[in-house]
Amino acid sequence: MDSLEYEVHENNGGGLPLYVWNEYGKLIYYHSGYEYDYDHIQLLEDLDCLNTKSLPINEWDGNELRELTIEEVSCIINEADNPHPSTKIIADNQGYYPNIMGNAGMKAFNIDEYDKENYDIIKW
């Protein structure tokens, strides 16, 4: 399977999109709405699949790039490449970053106040 790079962003509205790029730097997967997952497990399950390469990304459901117009995809790519200053990268291939997470990120990653205050990064 190809080497994939990914990032989870958290904006100041609590949005948690996942961006995945292929080895050529092309955005190939985008999904938002993880903040609405009541059980707070879907994002971690998806990241586990990426980290273990257990399911090829082209077999995943929920790729919003397939449902968008070219203009909308361009906006998504721009958001990924040039996030708003209030948007933080809270996870990537290296691990996740409790000290910069807001409430939505803390819920999605099951982070408590101790972790938030004491860890810059928790590696996969």
Quick one: pLDDT at residue 69?
A: 87
R_g of the chain, CA atoms, integer Å: 14
Does residue 1 have a pLDDT over 60? Answer: no
Q: Give tens-digit pLDDT for 36-69.
A: 999 999 999 999 999 998 888 888 888 998 888 8
Quick one: pLDDT at residue 58?
A: 82
Q: Give tens-digit pLDDT for 60-117.
A: 888 998 888 889 999 999 989 888 889 999 999 999 999 999 999 999 999 999 999 9
Quick one: pLDDT at residue 45?
A: 94
- How far is Cα 31 from Cα 92, in angstroms, rounded to an integer? 15
Predicted TM-score (pTM) of this structure: 0.91
Q: Give tens-digit pLDDT for 4-48.
A: 999 999 999 999 999 999 999 999 999 999 999 999 999 999 999
